[in-house]
Amino acid sequence: MNEEKIVTKNLSLYYGTNQALKNVSIDITEKKITALIGPSGCGKSTFLRTLNRLNDTIDHVKLEGEVRIDGIDIYDKRVDVVSLRRRVGMIFQKSNPFPKSVYENIAYGPRINGITSRKELDVIVESNCIRAAIWDEVKDRLNESATGLSGGQQQRVCIARALAVDPEILLMDEPASALDPISTAKIEELMFDLKKNLTIVIVTHNMQQAARVSDKCAFFLLGEIIEYNKTSSMFTTPEKTETQNYISGRFG
């Protein structure tokens, strides 16, 4: 029996006077991949950023409703945002390795969390490169700058960097949109492997990708969830006309 890892209730978000999310209520299951789909500007990435409080960094943002992880309201004043973001990792659309060596990229999080032993860091770097399916490609390049790698390799280094602090949840904002088909396939294979231990939420514009990788799918339109269901059901027998129109390519 899978538990709900993330629960949002009547979640609304405003950028100034513009309402970007409208009463979004969703239960996201532990150790599954949930895809957020919908046309550009419909609130998918905004919603994703509410799950690790990244919208806190933007001025004039107002949030109403609840976001709970393991039953705890993450917007409670007592919640430490740094430790929250350690539990809820984020992978962005454009790979963003630090201008440091591959090794230092992956060791960065463990270091700032107090791990200083070189032996321990070596183990963390290697094991997370293996988890991110990048070890064979970088094991002889650990001291080279991560920015010299290909786009697909950089993205997997960023995934290894996120995994190195042992998160429970991984948020992925179109992680393969800038990548070639081979790199995209590697990222998708990696997601299947990671969901044995992690809850993954992915924003994607690619319908085929959503159909391939996700267990459940949420269709966003104009800041609202129109439909949320098992991916297999949504792609074969969507309940709402808007979902049918979007999935079949009539708009978006």
Q: What is the rounded CA–CA span in Å between residue 24 and residue 32?
A: 20
| Predicted pLDDT of residue 164 | 96
Q: What are the 10-residue block averages of pLDDT along the chain, 252 residues in total?
A: 88 96 97 96 95 92 96 96 94 93 96 94 96 95 96 95 96 92 92 95 94 97 97 96 90 58
| Amino acid making up residue 119 | K
Closest residue by Cα to residue 126 from 145, 107, 112: 107
Whole-structure pTM value: 0.95
Contacts of 83 (CB under 8 A, 6+ apart): none
Cβ distance 107 to 61 under 8 Å?
no
Q: What is the rounded CA–CA span in Å between residue 35 and residue 209?
A: 9
Sign of CA dihedral 194, 78, 51, 239: positive
| Predicted pLDDT of residue 141 | 97
| Predicted pLDDT of residue 178 | 84
